[in-house]
Amino acid sequence: MVYQTELQNEAAPSQFLAVLKPRRTVTTWTLEAGSVYRASFSFGEVRQVTQNALSLVAGTSALLSAGQFYYDIDSKVLYVRMSDSSNPSTKFVVTTYEIYVSTFDAHHFRDPVDANSRVVYFEPLIRRSPVLNTSSTDSLYGFVPVQSSSIMISNVTQFLQNHVYDSSFNQASISMYHWLDNLEVGNVKLVFDGLMSNVAYEDDQVVIRCYDRVDLFKKEYRNSGVSFFSKTSFPNLDLNFNGRPIRQVYGVVDGFVPVNIDFNNTSGTITTSDNRDWVVLSGQSDLGSKTGTVSASPVSTTTRTYVNSTAGFRVGDSVWFDRAVGIDEYKILTVVNYVSNYVEHTALVSAMTSGDLLKRSFVGVVTLSQNNINYTALYGRDYIEATFADGTSGFSFTTTLEANLSMVSTLSPNDRLSARVYGKLNTVTLGGGAFGSNDSESGNLTHPIVIFYDLLKSSLSIPELEINLSSFIALQGTLTEAVGFAIPDQSTKNFPTFRELIGSLLQTVLLKIYLDDNRKWKISQVGPQGAVLKTIADDEILANSLSYDFEYNDVVSDAIVEYAFSEFSLQLGRIGVQVSTVSATSANALYLHGIQKQETFKSLHFKVADAQQLANRLSYILGDRKGTLEIRTKNRFFDSLLTDIVQLSRTRLPGYEFDLNTERTRNFTLVESNRSLRAVTLKLEDQKGIEDNQLSW
């Protein structure tokens, strides 16, 4: 039999197996031979060894190469050879080992779902079956605290006596397996793969708190290359930015403050060779620059230029009109037509001809303010793209900048600069092939799902095997929104944590991320309910366990969305910020529920239509009451997942006229489950605000 089939058998015996992986230091070593050392270790099978946080590789015998370890399970001896072949007593050596416990006496494979692993004895010491809690009730979007639990282990025999004092359980792995009927690999499923934390010790029991792996996102973001400015790499750096992050950009960001690495603020000595070089991005490849080729037909005019593709050009861009023959010109775009592929601008001396080029830098435009007079620098004439130390990219002002713009004074670091910056092109791969494409308007990577996947895979180093790829592929195909943001979002801030960074992205497109039933990272979008995955009949609900709550505490009449975040220089070392806003009002909240309440949300959108769509959707969701159904049911719902669509059938159901002869149905979205060996408690939401507005979604 297989696990999924056994779930339907309510008479099948149900048990838990657990593998705990605490860590422990080893300090006493004896030279074995050459550079190999040994130590007695009787606490459990060693699965990992680190020296000063550097992992050693498992060997197959005590004959080790540098940087290897071997654990002899029969003699309970650990052999190591340090990466530099030194005495391990001079290192901080930490072992990760395994403890096997269960709710019932069991001899089984140490990896319960791998028949090729070693058979071990699972001590029947789990005193109280763990309750696995999966919940998103407090999270409309963002990180779902996927599972939390505790495991209570009998300590009557002092089984854990030698572990809890010197071993560390903090952020150490724990895996729990659900076992149905006969103990066979096919009847076992991994149901919790998390981390341990606090330990509560008593003479007769030990309780260990457990939580999920969302803790992974507490790490702080770093660039793939150098992450911080320094005087070593940039001798003439503006000292206000010494030690500050070198920023990265996705999509399009207006109001980006570049960093002066050619700083000269000495009164009376500033020349047209000072304050020319400015760093923008941390990378030098896949920059979001754009070149368009002038079309032969239709024929361009002095104010309208036709190109092969306008994708990548936007109103407000500074464009270099690069002629094959004649004098180049430089203009700001006033109109961009993405259907007929033309741009408009102030009049050129003469129209562009077929084969001429239109060039837009990844630094789309630079504006500066001097003595309260605003100037717009033009790409190709006043500034050019440049690469600098530590793999950074930016721009350099020409020495003719001041003359070109008729500036009163020579450029000074006290002048206020701001730029439009285009982030990198889409080079993200999934399964060995391209994932998504560049935006049809901005011409670069703006798709929130692709960016999210890139952050997980490239920045957090999560392998594809640990990501639910189908959920990313599906949403990449249905979402049409574009996002643009800098990391960090302000030039004077430190790098955010991944939780903060990804949380902003999730909020922008109403996504949730959680671990699915196969312990892979999965995403889903808040929205109208899809296909029904499970049905619950009235006779499957345990007696007196049903409740249906209707809450109005979180109803909001006006959803305000701030988008197109930008910053601007106030003066040397000081930065101001500004945002655009849109809003949506819920008639339900105002007139039906009698509630007047505003709530503001931050968005990473840079297009007004995308931000307005988010405001509209938030008004649907938050403009109505929250309806939550809770029931206790049978084992066959043990594998229910967050966001599953569940159809309930019964005669007594709010919203219908009572009739004992007529069975009513309603669909719900699963937002919480509590699973034990005896019963499964499900919490489901009716999503009334969304479902009533699904045609406008």
User: What pLDDT shows up at residue 601?
Assistant: 95
Q: Give the pLDDT band (50/70/90) at residue 658.
A: confident
- Tally the C-alpha atoms within 13 A of residue 231's C-alpha that lie toward its C-beta: 4
Q: 299 is written with which tokens?
A: 């024929």
**CB-based contact 555:597 (threshold 8 Å):** yes
Q: Give the pLDDT band (50/70/90) at residue 389.
A: very high
Of 132-136, 373-377, 634-638, 678-682, least confident by mean pLDDT is 132-136
pLDDT at residue 149 tops 80: no
Q: Average of pLDDT values for 615-639?
A: 93
In a domain, 584, yes or no: no
In a domain, 196, yes or no: yes
Q: 192 is written with which tokens?
A: 């919790």
Q: 362 is written with which tokens?
A: 């990844």
User: What pLDDT shows up at residue 139?
Assistant: 61
User: What is the number of structural domains in the chain?
Assistant: 3
Q: Which residues pair with 293 in a beta bridge?
A: 357
Q: Are residues 128 and 27 in the same domain?
A: yes
Q: Are residues 187 and 299 in the same domain?
A: no
Q: Could you please report the per-residue DSSP string of 457-513?
A: IIIS---GGGB-HHHHHHHHHH----B-EEESSSTTSPPPBHHHHHHHHHHHTTEEE
pLDDT at residue 137 tops 90: no
> Which of 214-218, 426-430, 632-636: highest mean pLDDT?
426-430
- Buried b or exposed e, range 421-443, using 16+ CB within 10 angstroms: bbbbbbebebeeeebbebbebbb
Q: Is the peptide bond between 235 and the residue preceding it cis, with omega within 30 degrees of 0?
A: no
Q: Could you please report the per-residue DSSP string of 103-128?
A: SS-EEEESSTT-TTSPEEEEBS-EEE
**What is the 3-state secondary structure of 400-428?**
CHHHHHCCCCCCCCCCEEEEEEECCCCCC
User: What pLDDT shows up at residue 364?
Assistant: 98
Q: Could you please report the per-residue DSSP string of 219-241?
A: SBP--SS--B--TTT-TB--GGG
pLDDT digits (tens, 9 = 90+) for 308-360: 999 999 999 999 999 999 999 999 999 999 999 999 999 999 999 999 999 99
Q: 257 is written with which tokens?
A: 């403050």
Coil, strand or helix at 456: helix
User: What pLDDT shows up at residue 144?
Assistant: 57
Q: Are residues 295 and 208 in the same domain?
A: no
Judge residue 266's burial from the number of C-beta atoms within 10 Å of its C-beta, 0-12 exposed, 13-18 middle, 19 or more buried.
Answer: exposed
Q: Are residues 308 and 208 in the same domain?
A: no
Q: In what order do the strands lie in the sheet with 392-397?
A: 259-260, 277-281, 392-397, 383-388
pLDDT at residue 146 tops 60: no
Q: Give the pLDDT band (50/70/90) at residue 571.
A: low
**CB-based contact 9:181 (threshold 8 Å):** yes
Strands (E), 435-505: 485-487
User: What pLDDT shows up at residue 523?
Assistant: 92
* Alpha carbon distance 107, 121 (integer Å): 5
* Alpha carbon distance 500, 502 (integer Å): 6
- Look up the CATH number of the domain holding residue 652: 2.40.10
Q: Are residues 192 and 324 in the same domain?
A: no
Q: Indicate the residue among 323, 339, 360 that finishes a domain.
A: 360
Which residue's entry shows tokens 């090729």?
A: 116
Q: Are residues 209 and 303 in the same domain?
A: no
> Which residue, 130, 71, 59, is CA-closest to 98?
71
**CB-based contact 21:47 (threshold 8 Å):** yes
DSSP H or E run through 534: strand 534-537
Which residue's entry shows tokens 């931000």?
A: 611
**Antiparallel, parallel or unpaired: β 383-388 and 329-332:** unpaired
Q: Give the pLDDT band (50/70/90) at residue 148.
A: low
More confident: 692 or 678: 692
Of 463-477, 558-572, 608-622, least confident by mean pLDDT is 558-572
Q: Are residues 304 and 176 in the same domain?
A: no
- Measure the CA angle with vertex 387, ends 383 and 390; round to 5°: 145
Q: Which residues pair with 538 in a beta bridge?
A: none
User: What pLDDT shows up at residue 9?
Assistant: 80
Q: Provide the mean pLDDT of the chain.
A: 93
In a domain, 513, yes or no: no
Q: Are residues 208 and 301 in the same domain?
A: no
Q: Indicate the residue among 360, 390, 416 that finishes a domain.
A: 360
More confident: 570 or 630: 630
In a domain, 244, yes or no: no
Count the Cβ atoms, other than its own, within 10 Å of residue 2. 13
In a domain, 332, yes or no: yes
pLDDT digits (tens, 9 = 90+) for 442-460: 999 999 999 999 999 999 9
Q: Are residues 194 and 61 in the same domain?
A: yes
Of 276-290, 409-423, 451-465, 508-522, least confident by mean pLDDT is 508-522
**What is the 3-state secondary structure of 377-399?**
ECECCCEEEEEEHHHEEEEEECC
Q: 457 is written with which tokens?
A: 């895979």
Q: Are residues 150 and 294 in the same domain?
A: no
Q: Are residues 182 and 299 in the same domain?
A: no
* Alpha carbon distance 351, 362 (integer Å): 25
In a domain, 384, yes or no: no
Q: Indicate the residue among 360, 380, 410 that finishes a domain.
A: 360
> Which residue, 588, 260, 210, is CA-closest to 411?
260
Range of the structural domain that residue 673 is part of: 526-552+625-697
* Alpha carbon distance 180, 174 (integer Å): 20
- Tally the C-alpha atoms within 13 A of residue 492's C-alpha that lie toward its C-beta: 13
pLDDT digits (tens, 9 = 90+) for 161-195: 889 999 999 989 999 999 999 999 999 999 888 88
User: What pLDDT shows up at residue 529?
Assistant: 94
pLDDT at residue 102 tops 80: yes
Q: Give the pLDDT band (50/70/90) at residue 69.
A: very high
pLDDT digits (tens, 9 = 90+) for 499-532: 999 999 999 999 988 888 788 899 999 999 999 9
In a domain, 385, yes or no: no
User: What pLDDT shows up at residue 143?
Assistant: 64
User: What pLDDT shows up at residue 422?
Assistant: 98
Q: Are residues 339 and 196 in the same domain?
A: no
* Alpha carbon distance 173, 18 (integer Å): 11
User: What pLDDT shows up at residue 398?
Assistant: 98
User: What pLDDT shows up at residue 4?
Assistant: 82
pLDDT at residue 1 tops 60: no
In a domain, 299, yes or no: yes
Q: Give the pLDDT band (50/70/90) at residue 213.
A: confident
pLDDT at residue 624 tops 70: yes
Q: Is the peptide bond between 298 and the residue preceding it cis, with omega within 30 degrees of 0?
A: yes
Q: Average of pLDDT values for 37-54?
A: 95
